[in-house]
Amino acid sequence: MTNLHIATFGGGCFWCIDAAFRRVKGVTLVSSGYTGGHLEAPTYQAICQGDSGHAEVVKISFDPTVIDYDTLLEIFFTLHDPTQLNRQGNDVGTQYRSVIYFHDEAQQLKAHAMISTQQAHHNAPIVTEISPSTTFYPAEDYHQDYFNENPQQGYCSILIAPKIAKFELAFKNWIVD
User: Of 13, 16, 48, 156, which residue is the catalytic one?
Assistant: 13
The CA-to-CA distance between both ends of the chain, in Å, stands at 22
- The CA distance from 115 to 136, in Å, is 23
16 is catalytic: no
- The CA distance from 60 to 112, in Å, is 19
Which residues does 18 contact at the CB level (< 8 Å), separation at least 6?
30, 32, 58, 143, 144, 145, 146, 147
Q: Which residues are catalytic?
A: 13
